[in-house]
Amino acid sequence: MSIEEAKRRLFQRIMEFYGDNLLSVVFYGAHLKGELDEIDVLVIIDKPYDPVKLNRVADFIEKIKEPVEKEYGYFIAFELYTREEAENFHASYLDIAKAYDVVYDKGDYFKNLLKRMTHPDTSMEHVKYLTTIEILKDE
């Protein structure tokens, strides 16, 4: 089975699990260039259905990631964020900005987020913890 079939199945499971709460699904990384047989995916949901992030991650692994890995044989690396979490800059966004494929984007949420994060006038609005790091560094 091809990596494209695995990605389609992965997307299908994501849609089924999150339904209307899903904002964006973005594939990124070396598999887009045919360099690795590993699927990198960013999933952004609107609201946390469980207040504990660890529970949301465990659900993704159990109900989405592991079944697709077992069925298709490709390793899946994922980033799972709520809208609020996605609004803060994450290092993975650097990889995503290099090469990505948006397969679902309700209201162009991810497209607009990436535009704001990469624009010089608005990018720093998304780095919420930089001040804390700088203060600690100076002490």
pTM confidence score: 0.85
Q: Give me the domain span that covers residue 106.
A: 3-138
Question: How many folded domains does the chain comprise?
Answer: 1
Q: Mean pLDDT, 10 residues at a time, over the chain (139 residues)? A: 95 98 96 87 96 95 98 97 90 86 97 82 58 44
Specify whether the CB–CB gap between 77 and 40 falls below 8 A.
yes
Q: Which of 122, 119, 127 is nearest to 90 (CA)?
A: 127
Q: What is the CATH number of the domain that holds 23?
A: 3.30.460.10
For residue 99, give the 3-state DSSP assignment. Answer: coil
* Contacts of the segment 115-120: beta carbons below 8 A, 24+ positions apart: 117/89, 117/93
